[in-house]
Amino acid sequence: MDLATELRLLEERARAQIIELKTSSALQEVRVQILGKKGQLTSVLRGMGGLAAEERPRVGQLANEIRDKIEAALDARGKVLDEAGLEARLAGEQFDVTLPGTPVAVGYQHPLTRIAEEITDIFLGMGFSVAEGPEVETDYYNFEALNLPKEHPARDMQDTFYVINDLVLRTQTSPVQIRTMERLSPLVPVRIISPGKVYRRDDDATHSPMFQQVEGLVIDKGISLGHLKSTLLAFARQMFGTEREIRLRASYFPFTEPSAEVDVSCGTCGGSGCRVCKGTGWIEILGCGVVHPNVLRLSGYDPEEVSGFAFGMGIERIAMLKYGVEDLRHFFINDYRFLRQF
């Protein structure tokens, strides 16, 4: 039998075999048996050595054609088997629709957002509304209109980032007081809070170059220090617990007179003194005071007609107290192990 006949026979047998194949793995085996390095085709082609030189190209070309045809037949059969296999699997598959699904991790609020909203809610409940102001602020609103002229030494406590000339990143939410008074004067009552970000050149365990405050401002006829104290007591009890007390310590802010710092009684020891309150029984939570007549006048109110009180608290500080967090920077590192606890 000559080589060409042998090749044709090989093709015929291969086709017969391929058409009978039932599984993809059997098909894989047959592919190797026929076309593999040590397969049937290779072994037939060993006979090429005995051919006359002019015969070789013709037989070589025939061998290539036959290899291609067998490969095509294998591929076609493979496709049929794959489709049949999928159908069989789908027909046999059963779904238990009552099995629980894969849980999806649900996000939640950042603890500082939570606290800011809690503070806001408490004051909304007392009849305040929310006012907002820009974070890039003019020197005038951030300092001067708050009774802090250019060379005032109290500016040192609030060293900040100057953007250009008289534009600063605001050091406090207090400029929103001025913006609100300018907008509303001479109308009363004014009753606003203003939560937002502020910036200072500070960075340690209890200070961050960016932090958040909530400002408060009330202006009306006959507002006194008594209104301030009762408002802040109501706030402290809703925020920290009904058993809490507050005390006012005389302090200084340029935009209030008199000014005070407010402490809340320590929740850990109940006021008897412990490590958390450094033995004093009290923890500082905010600054406040009676609005300075200069500030009222500059913003369009007559200090003979109306008076007001104002306060400002740090949101991070309130959150640290409420949750017992000892390092402010935890809030900003975005470590999920920390954040997920709230």
Cβ closer to ligand DAH: 111 or 196?
196
Q: What residues pair up with 215 in beta bridges, in sequence order?
A: 194, 312
Cβ closer to ligand DAH: 41 or 192?
192
Cβ closer to ligand DAH: 58 or 197?
197
Find how far residue 183's CA is from the centre of its chain: 34
CB-CB neighbours of 325 under 10 Å: 17
Distance, in Å, from the CA atom of 259 to the CA atom of 249, rounded to the nearest integer, reads 8
Q: Shortest gap between Cβ of 312 and ligand DAH (angstroms)?
A: 3
Cβ closer to ligand DAH: 26 or 225?
225
Cβ closer to ligand DAH: 172 or 180?
172
Cβ closer to ligand DAH: 88 or 157?
157
Strand blocks (E) in 234-332: 246-253, 256-265, 282-291, 307-314
Q: Shortest gap between Cβ of 185 and ligand DAH (angstroms)?
A: 17
Q: Shortest gap between Cβ of 270 and ligand DAH (angstroms)?
A: 27
Q: Shortest gap between Cβ of 167 and ligand DAH (angstroms)?
A: 19
- Residue number with the smallest Cβ distance to ligand DAH: 312
List phi, psi (to 5°) of 84: -65, -40
Cβ closer to ligand DAH: 174 or 231?
174
Task: Decide if 248 contacts 260 (C-beta within 8 A).
Answer: yes
SS3 for 70-130, per residue?
HHHHHHHHHHHHHHHHHHHHHHHCCCCCCCCCCCCCCCCCCHHHHHHHHHHHHHHHCCCEE
Q: Shortest gap between Cβ of 314 and ligand DAH (angstroms)?
A: 8
Q: Shortest gap between Cβ of 171 and ligand DAH (angstroms)?
A: 7
Task: Decide if 174 contacts 192 (C-beta within 8 A).
Answer: no
Query: Where do contacts with ligand DAH occur on this chain (CB under 6 A)?
Result: 172, 174, 215, 253, 256, 287-289, 310-312
Of 64, 59, 72, 65, residue with least CA distance to 31: 72
For 6, the token pair is: 């042998």
Q: Collect all residues with Cβ–Cβ distance below 8 Å to 43 and sequence separation of at least 6.
A: none
CA 80, 84, 37, 45 dihedral sign is negative
Cβ closer to ligand DAH: 15 or 229?
229
SS3 for 161-185, per residue?
CECCCCEEECCCCCHHHHHHHHHHC
Q: Shortest gap between Cβ of 125 and ligand DAH (angstroms)?
A: 20
Q: Shortest gap between Cβ of 104 and ligand DAH (angstroms)?
A: 41
